[in-house]
């Protein structure tokens, strides 16, 4: 597809029976009309938005379709629920994310996975750190920011934010309830892997103290996070 450059992902991101795609996009080279086959009907607020926003939305759908094709599906479409979250084809879970020039999506079969959460963020600038610390980070998160030696301060802050975004996307199909950023803390991260802990009871299998593991990868100025939990046999 014109305007889409496939990018390589770290090996630990591509392990397992999932379809995953990652592209750099050049909005100036993308023909929006070509992407409409991935999303025949644009949501009203997207139709009314500027062309750049429309391209980002359609690029995310294109990336998601390619991830589903990685599972062997021939003509998949990704719709949208009333809460604006993606509606994946029956029998699948998936997740997608984008920045202004990158798109990332993954998908897998519900018979093999309990869900997915994927996120990509540009490393936050120094001036954004105070607002993130106030609105997003728990007391435990702040300890990581102040004591991490593996990453820069801005990289650490972006990773923590992205890990929480991935977790929210992961639980969304199971628990449709509002979560504050401080309802989850990152309790570990090292060598491409992280863990988040839930701080409130949400019912069913989502209890206070539950820990979910994920993966992360830095690509230039971007950080990517992925939660892909396999079903228990």
pLDDT at 195: 95
pTM above 0.85, yes or no: yes
pLDDT score, position 175: 82
pLDDT of residue 183: 92
Token pair for 202: 């949400």
Q: By CB neighbour count within 10 A (0-12 exposed, 13-18 middle, 19+ buried), where does 154 fall? A: middle
Residue 170: Cβ-neighbour burial (10 angstroms; 0-12, 13-18, 19+): buried
Q: Is 139 left (phi over 0), alpha (psi -120 to 50) or beta?
A: alpha
Kind plus residue range of the DSSP H or E element containing 210: none
Tokens linked to 215 = 């993966």
The pLDDT assigned to 12 comes to: 87
The rounded distance, in Å, linking the Cα atoms of 65 and 220 is 25
Give the pLDDT of residue 41.
82
For the stretch 96-152, pLDDT in tens is 999 999 999 999 999 999 999 999 999 999 999 888 888 888 888 887 777 766 788
Point out the residues of the chain with pLDDT beneath 50.
Answer: none
């Amino acid at each position: 597809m014109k305007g889409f450059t496939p990018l390589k992902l770290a090996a630990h991101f591509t392990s397992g029976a999932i379809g995953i795609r990652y592209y750099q996009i050049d909005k100036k080279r993308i023909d929006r009309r070509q992407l409409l086959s991935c999303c025949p009907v644009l949501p009203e607020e997207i139709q009314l938005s500027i062309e750049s926003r429309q391209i980002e939305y359609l690029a995310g759908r294109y990336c998601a379709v390619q991830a589903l094709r990685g599972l062997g599906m021939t003509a998949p479409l990704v719709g949208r629920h009333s809460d604006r979250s993606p509606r994946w084809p029956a029998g699948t879970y998936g997740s997608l994310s984008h920045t202004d020039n990158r798109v990332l999506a993954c998908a897998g079969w519900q018979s093999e996975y309990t869900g997915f959460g994927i996120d990509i963020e540009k490393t936050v600038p120094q001036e954004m750190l105070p607002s993130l610390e106030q609105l997003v980070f728990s007391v435990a998160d702040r300890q990581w920011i102040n004591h991490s030696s593996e990453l820069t301060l801005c990289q650490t802050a972006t990773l923590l934010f992205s890990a929480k975004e991935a977790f929210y996307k992961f639980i969304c199909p199971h628990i449709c309830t509002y979560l504050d950023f401080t309802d989850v803390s990152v309790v570990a991260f090292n060598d491409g892997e992280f863990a988040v802990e839930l701080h409130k009871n949400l019912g069913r299998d989502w209890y206070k103290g539950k820990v979910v593991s994920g993966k992360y990868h830095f690509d230039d100025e971007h950080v990517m996070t992925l939660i892909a939990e396999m079903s228990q046999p």
